[in-house]
Each structure stands twice: as structure tokens, then as C-alpha cells.
Amino acid sequence: MRYILLLLICLVTATAVAQSFISSGKIMFEKKINLTRIYQEKGLTEFMKNQPQSNTTYFELSFSSNKTLYKPGRAGDPPVAGTAAGNIVFTDFNTGFVYAKKEVFESTYLVADSIAKITWKITPDTRMIAGVNCRKAVGVIMDSLVIIAFYTDRIPVSGGPESFVGLPGMIMGLAIPKMHTTWYASSVQQIDEKDAAMIKIPAAGKTLTRKELLTTLQKTLHGGRDDEHNIWQILI
């Protein structure tokens, strides 16, 4: 008898969840950097033996039907390299603008610009992340950086972690192979639209556009591959 009841409940909840969209809520993300691979590429094989293999930090993304706010969540490992590791990003789909507060070396900048257009290729592959079914898409930014994203059409907001947007649903998983970094959602919570009003534009530092930030960085970082990586880390 108990089992039948359980089965019915499962069926009902399954049906309930299956048929509804999550239009506002909060997603917890886990950002992981594979340090071992980075040290291997730099040739620091000896050094890496005494270092941790990976670096994990946590973020949360609050979203409503037309806005998203991405910011650091609970404390994780101490940030590595210290550049732009704790961004706060506010994306407004109504106005088409994105505001990102980034700590770059010793300065704090507010990058205000229109939402970037990323060219995505849709693939038929899917996987489950945080209990929702996601589809894989592949994109390229900054001319050569390949990004792999998993988005779900269960959340009809075109947002995602950092500045990655533009897919027909929320990005729940993201991987940048060249940077050995991944972001994966660990949970999704539904929040009422009214409670989501806490989403606001963060406090300002020096305001720049993306292009201006790039120019500023290129003035100081024009070395080899390491600097290229640093630029990527800051601009994403």
C-alpha cells in the first residue's frame, strides 16, 4: 500500500515538475580550476608536487524573467592568481546592458557595456545537471577561445555564469578547456518573482567598456602566453 502511494506521489511530483518552467530563482555554481594541468603547461612539474590539484570557489546566480545577478557565494579555496576571481555581474535583458564589477590587480573596475553577442553552435548531445536536462552548445569568444556550455530550456532566461549569455535557456554548465576551468550548477531553487527584486546594480568603481578594459590591459600585459591567459581571465 505504501509503495503505491509513494509511486503516485512520485508520479504527481514528476508530472508537476515536468510541466512547469522556472522563471525566477537562484542557482548555486561551483567553479573549479584544474591547477595540475596549468602547472604542467607551464613546465612547473616540481613546484606542482607540493601544490593542491585544484581550486574550487562558489558563486550564486539569482535570476528573474529578464535580469540576472551573478556574485560570489559561500567561501571556498583562496582565489588563485588574484585577478578577477570574484566578479559581480548584473545582466539586464530589458535594456540589453551588462554591468560587471571586477577586481583587476590593484584596481576595481565597473565594466559597463552592451550584452556581448556570442556565436553558438547547437549540438544534439545532452546531459543532466542539477536535476535538469541540458543541451550542449559550443561557442567561440575573443576569436580563439572555445567554450562548451550546457543550457536548459526549463529555465527560459538566456543567462549564465560570468558574461556567458545568448542561448535559448539558462547555462547550467560551462567549460573553457584552454583555461582548464569549469562552472557547474549544483542546485536550482525556485524563488517568487517579488523576492527577486533584490537584484540591483552593484556599487561603482571606475567605469569602462570592455574595449577600454582590453586596451588598458594590453598596455601592461603584452608578454607571452601567461599574459594572454590573464587577459582571458579578466575579460570573461
Partner 1 sequence: MKKFLIAILSMFFFVSTCWGQSADIKGIIRDTLNKNNMNGAVIMLLRASDSTLVTFTRSNEDGNFVMRQLTPGHFLMLVTYPDYADYEDEITLKDTSHINLGNISLTTRMRMLKEIIVRQSSPMRLKGDTLEYAADSFKVRPNANVEDLLKQLPGIQVNRKGEITAQGQQVQKILVDGEEFFSEDPTIATQNLRADMVEKVKVYDKKSDQAVFTGIDDGVKIKTIDLKLKEDKKKGYFGKVEGGTDFNKYYDNRGMISAFKGRRKIAVVGVMSNTGSGTLRVDEADNFSGAGGVGIELEEGMGLPQTADEGGGAGPGGIPVSWNGGAHYSNKWKDDQYYLNTNYRFGKTIVNPIGGTITQQNVQDGMFDSRQQSDATIQNERHVFNSNLVVATDSLSTLDIRLNTAISKASSQNTFSTNTLKNGIQVNNGSRITGNTADARDFQANMIWRRKFMKKGRSLLLYANIKTGDNKADGSLYAVNDFYNTSGTHLNADTTNQQKLNQNNGTLLTGKIIYTEPLWKNAFIMLSYGLALNNQESLRSTYDNLPGGKQVYVDSLSNNYTLRTITHRAGMYLNMAGKKTDYTIGGDVSRADYHQHNAVKDGVFDHQFINFFPKLNIRYRLNTYKDLTFSYTGITQQPSIQQLQPLKDNYDPLNIYIGNSLLKRAFNHTLNLSFKRFKVIKSSYFIADISYSTIQDAITSRNSIDTAGRSIIQPVNVNGNQSIMGSVNYGTASDKSHLGASIGTKFSLSRSVSFINDQLNNTNYFSPAVTLGVGWYNGDKSSLTLTSNINYNYSSSSVNPDLITKYWMQEYTALLSVTLFKQVYFNTEAYFSLRQKTSAFDKNNNVIKWNAYVTKTVLKGSMNLKLSVNDILDQNIGFSRLVGAGTITENNYNTLRRYWMLSVIWNFNTTGR
Given the rule CB under 8 A, which residues bind partner 1?
11, 14-15, 18-19, 21, 119-124, 132-133, 135, 137, 152-154, 156, 166-169
Residue 188 CB, nearest approach to partner 1 (Å): 13
Angle CA 17–20–23, to nearest 5: 120
Cell numbers linked to 34: 584544474
Residue 123 CB, nearest approach to partner 1 (Å): 7
Q: Nearer Cβ to partner 1, position 8 or 81? A: 8
Residue 18 CB, nearest approach to partner 1 (Å): 5
Q: Nearer Cβ to partner 1, position 167 or 231? A: 167
Q: Nearer Cβ to partner 1, position 4 or 75? A: 4
Residue 122 CB, nearest approach to partner 1 (Å): 5
Cβ atoms of 152 and 160 closer than 8 Å: no
Q: Nearer Cβ to partner 1, position 22 or 98? A: 22
Helix (H, G, I), strand (E, B) or coil at 228: helix
CA dihedral of 11, 14, 15, 21, whole degrees rounded to 10: 170
Q: How far apart are CA 213 and CA 215, in angstroms?
A: 5
Cβ atoms of 150 and 122 closer than 8 Å: no
Q: Nearer Cβ to partner 1, position 185 or 208? A: 185
Residue 171 CB, nearest approach to partner 1 (Å): 13
Q: How far apart are CA 85 and CA 33, in angstroms?
A: 11
Q: Nearer Cβ to partner 1, position 53 or 133? A: 133
Q: Nearer Cβ to partner 1, position 8 or 44? A: 8
Cell numbers linked to 212: 577600454
Cβ atoms of 148 and 56 closer than 8 Å: no
Q: Give me the count of residues in the chain.
A: 236
Which residues have a Cβ under 8 Å from the Cβ of 63 and sit 6 or more positions away?
24, 25, 26, 27, 69, 155, 157, 159, 170, 196
Residue 104 CB, nearest approach to partner 1 (Å): 31
Cβ atoms of 33 and 181 closer than 8 Å: yes
Residue 17 CB, nearest approach to partner 1 (Å): 9
